[in-house]
Amino acid sequence: MSGSSHQRLKGILSVTVLKAKNLKKADWFGENDCYVVVSLEPVTARPGDEIQQTETYQKTQIHDGLHPIYNEKLVFPVPHRLELLYVQVWDSDPGKDDLLGYGTLNLIDDELGGR
């Protein structure tokens, strides 16, 4: 399709969010209401910002407690080579969510020749 504005997909990335352990207590009353954000690009949102899910940003359902079990599969279309996967854990609150933790996962294994 010449002239098409759509990029060809390099592939599909499937990520299964299993669980979180030993989260800090973020709510004064009741239990944490946690969800996990997985993204292909850095998330520039700040606590309290409302972010819509996109092809490069997805989040799990909310689960209660300090050791939530998700077992949720997130699927991303991949239009280009990926090097990092970004992960954040949030506590859902009315008005302003609290960031509990974050990290990145390197998707390139340099010992295998950058695959």
Domains and CATH numbers, the chain: 17-112 (2.60.40.150)
Instruction: Retrieve residue 57's tokens.
Output: 């940003």
Instruction: Retrieve residue 14's tokens.
Output: 């499937």
Average pLDDT, the chain: 79
- The pTM (predicted TM-score) of the whole model is 0.76
Angle 30-33-36 (CA atoms, 0-180°, nearest 5)? 160
Convert the pLDDT of each residue in 12-62 to its tens digit. 889 999 999 999 888 888 888 999 999 887 666 555 555 555 667 788 888
SS3 for 40-68, per residue? CCCCCCCCCCCCCCECCEEECCCEECCCC
